[in-house]
Amino acid sequence: MSTTPNLDILSAVRIVSQTQAVSRSEVAAVVLLTYDILTTFGDEVELIWRKQWTTAKGMYFASRYIPWMFELALLTINIDGTTGLFFTMSQCRKWMIVQAVTLQLIVTIVDVILMTRVYALFNRNRTLLWVLIVLFCGEISYMSYVLSYVTPKLTYNDDCFVTSSPPIFVSYWIVSLVFETFLFLLTLVKFFEALRRGWGHRPIMRQFISDGTWAYALIFATMSLNSMLYKFVHSPLAGICFTWLLSVLSIAGSRLVLNPRRRSQEESSKLEDLSPISPTTRLAFKDTQLDSSLSTNGF
């Protein structure tokens, strides 16, 4: 008796199980992002919504809500592995283009936020700004080229889950990680310089460093994991961490804007409680002025 039908059934069952695992991972990612949105919503209304429209405000909303809306849309298509819908190869490619554009948009926004923070830490050094702009343009150009090359060559199953990708796709993640590592190292350089000069322990500086560290670590981990999955996994599980990356980028990008503003507001509130004639008040006022300036320049 031939075992081919049994093997086909086992293969189909395995694929269904894998697509369900990816779908459930997507649910977990969107739940995490929704939770983060809800827990910061009060600060968002006070520190973002009520302020005048600026580039920083626009990037905050884009990094916060575009990934969230995209993930919700993704769930309607892939809920529990399948919705019973079937897609042509052309439709899968169009959907993948939407995903690629969304990913590149969010990566670009987060990189701009990180660049602005470094620019602020280096006291708006124009030379450094131009170096960052050149590197940033090179990074975005190469990443866009890789996406345009890779997207038509991706393979999918019947539910539009990616099952394999060209080897060059790994370089997409590597280039982004190299640029963000460079920005993180610049942040550390300025932090150690601040420690030597005696202002490295100021609240806003500690906030900048702590935010930059955890944001870099999370982005590095999720991008590295995505690169390895797309490189070595040739099944629907290859994309199991894609929505996690979107959630991490959204959380990092929005909190890198929100947290310094909240810290600056807290320090200003403490200042109001001090006696206006005491030496402590004068010293605290100078520190708060510097902290507020750093917070404003760095979003």
Give me the CATH number covering residue 97.
1.20.1070
**Within a domain: residue 178?**
yes
Classified as helix, coil or strand, 165 is: coil
> CB-side exposure of 243: number of CA atoms within 13 Å?
26
Mean pLDDT of the 190-204 span = 78
Total domain count, the chain? 1
Please report, rounded to a whole number, the percentage of residues in the chain having pLDDT higher than 70.
Answer: 79
Cβ–Cβ under 8 Å, residues 57 and 196: no
**Within a domain: residue 156?**
yes
H/E run at residue 7: helix 4-39
**Within a domain: residue 12?**
no
pTM, to two decimals: 0.83
Residue 123: φ, ψ to 5°: 55, 45
CA distances in angstroms from 27 to 34, 221, 243, listed in the order given: 10, 20, 9
Q: Would you state the pLDDT for residue 94?
A: 84
CA dihedral 199, 204, 210, 214 (to 10 degrees): -140
Residue 29 to residue 68: CA distance in whole angstroms: 9
Mean pLDDT of the 226-239 span = 85
Cβ–Cβ under 8 Å, residues 271 and 288: yes
**Within a domain: residue 171?**
yes
Domain assignment of residue 170, given as a range: 19-297
Residue 31 to residue 108: CA distance in whole angstroms: 24
**Within a domain: residue 4?**
no
**Within a domain: residue 2?**
no
**Within a domain: residue 10?**
no
**Within a domain: residue 70?**
yes
Q: Of 124-133, 136-145, 226-235, which range is least confident?
A: 226-235
Q: What's the pLDDT tens digit per position in 39-80?
A: 999 989 988 988 888 888 889 999 999 999 999 988 877 665
